[in-house]
Amino acid sequence: MADPVVLRDLLREKHWQKYQTFLREYDKAAASIDSSLVGTAPSRAQLHRWQCGELKGLPHPQHCEVLEAMFPGRKAAEMFVPAQRSAAPSTADLAAAVGDGLEGVAPVPSAWSTPLRPVPESSGPLPAKTLRGPAHDQAESLARALQLLGKRRRIPDEEIAELALLAGHLVDLEMECTIDIEPDGWSSVTYRFELLNLTNAPIKRLLREQWFENTDGVRIEPHPDGERRVSIQRLHDIGNMTKFACVLSPPIEPGGIGTVSYTSRGGRFVHDHYWQQSTPRNTRHLTLTIRHRGVDMLVGCTAVEDQPDGAQVSAIDDLFCVEDDEGALITLTRDYLQPGQSVTIRWEVARGGS
């Protein structure tokens, strides 16, 4: 696996790591050189490969020229050498960040990319990360839970530090939405949430809602989990909208991780083929999968991401489409989404004889 390069750190220092922010700054620098360079920025996937050190050599000369204008005094060659690895943040670092989050005074991480300053760890007969005795308070308890999460999931230390800044919130580590559409248009929608409780209280209920443009009545079926039982409490039905709560037993304790899954049926895709998925919480990874059965060909497919401020960016680079014997399969993945964001997929299909 390649090592991240200096460019990644430079973008984070400037808070330019979000792709749309990078595009804005790239075009500013490009305009200062030659107006013909505006709009020549790398794609989202290409920029990711640059930062991860997967590029052999240097980018195209015009890219190098713009990058040097973005970071005066830096040569492009310096930006594509491996970055120095920082030490893992200690429990004290994480506890301080968690404490700020629980008190509501932590800065909101920009794309989860504000690393904490590490504290040197002492050596001894036991590993430096040995935790002795019970946690002194809720902040330290959550900090320990985050450290264990990082070890078990192989999550980079930098991202664990960013998660600490989300203390006080419920976080979706994974959010999966799978839509299965039959040839006659009737569908089932299955959700799976892997939730991390960074609050100081148990999570007993998860409020949800389901909307279909065309429906004969929404039916919701919870999926059993090995660790807890999920029951559905219907709250309100208004036209094509159903509001309900997933009741968890036992609840997800502070610092704990729990999975909630259910399937909604009763929606039908008739003429308009689109799906908008919102993220009510900070979401580390979103996977949206659409299986449209009984179609012969995908005629078109687009994806966009809506920002909390109302801006809209293309998500086409993270869209994957397949035609097979069963029909069409569409998959969209996005990372580090904030509350208030959404992604929308629109697709057109052709059937035999059409």
The reported pLDDT for the residue numbered 85 is 61
Domain match, 98 and 187 both: no
Domain match, 204 and 332 both: yes
The reported pLDDT for the residue numbered 116 is 41
Domain match, 52 and 75 both: yes
pLDDT above 50 (res 229): yes
Q: Could you tell me if residue 122 is inside a domain?
A: no
Q: Which residues, in sequence order, are bridge partners of residue 314?
A: 304
Cβ(39)–Cβ(31) below 8 Å: no
- Does a cis peptide bond (omega within 30 degrees of 0) precede residue 250? yes
- Residue tagged 């920025």 (tokens): 41
pLDDT band, very low/low/confident/very high, at 340 (cuts 50, 70, 90): confident
- Measure Cα distances from 25 to 63, 179, 248 in Å: 13, 37, 45
Q: Could you tell me if residue 281 is inside a domain?
A: yes
Domain boundary among 35, 59, 79: 79
Domain match, 218 and 282 both: yes
Q: Could you tell me if residue 118 is inside a domain?
A: no
Q: Could you tell me if residue 92 is inside a domain?
A: yes
pLDDT band, very low/low/confident/very high, at 159 (cuts 50, 70, 90): confident
How many domains does the chain contain in total? 3
pLDDT above 60 (res 305): yes
Domain match, 221 and 150 both: no
pLDDT above 90 (res 120): no
Task: Spell out a b/e string for 80-96, using b for 16 or more CB atoms within 10 Å of the CB, else e.
Answer: beebeeeebbbbebbbb
Closest by CA position to 347, among listed 276, 241, 268? 276
The reported pLDDT for the residue numbered 130 is 47
Q: Domain range for residue 197? A: 171-350
Query: How far apart are the C-alpha atoms of 344 and 332, rounded to whole Å?
Result: 10
The reported pLDDT for the residue numbered 137 is 79
7's torsion region: left (phi>0), alpha (psi -120 to 50) or beta? alpha
The reported pLDDT for the residue numbered 134 is 59
Q: Could you tell me if residue 124 is inside a domain?
A: no
Domain match, 30 and 108 both: no
Domain match, 143 and 275 both: no
How many degrees, rounded to 5, is the angle at CA 92 between CA 86 and CA 97? 85
Query: How far apart are the C-alpha atoms of 234 and 232, rounded to whole Å?
Result: 6
pLDDT above 90 (res 83): no
Q: pTM for the whole thing?
A: 0.67
The reported pLDDT for the residue numbered 54 is 84
Please give the distance of CA 129 from its chain centroid, rounded to a whole number: 28
Domain match, 334 and 185 both: yes
276: CATH: 2.60.40.3140
Q: Could you tell me if residue 125 is inside a domain?
A: no
pLDDT above 90 (res 102): no
- Is 301 in a helix, a strand, or coil? strand
Domain match, 178 and 153 both: no
Cβ(106)–Cβ(32) below 8 Å: no
Average pLDDT in the 321-345 region? 93
Domain match, 51 and 75 both: yes
Domain match, 142 and 191 both: no
Query: How far apart are the C-alpha atoms of 206 and 212, rounded to whole Å?
Result: 20
Cβ(129)–Cβ(144) below 8 Å: no
Q: Could you tell me if residue 22 is inside a domain?
A: yes
- Edge-to-edge strands of the sheet including 274-279? 274-279, 341-350, 297-306, 312-314
Q: Could you tell me if residue 45 is inside a domain?
A: yes
Domain boundary among 122, 152, 167: 167
Domain match, 162 and 227 both: no
* Residues contacting 292, CB < 8 A, separation 6+: 181, 269, 273, 327, 328, 329, 330, 347, 349
Query: How far apart are the C-alpha atoms of 51 and 80, rounded to whole Å?
Result: 8
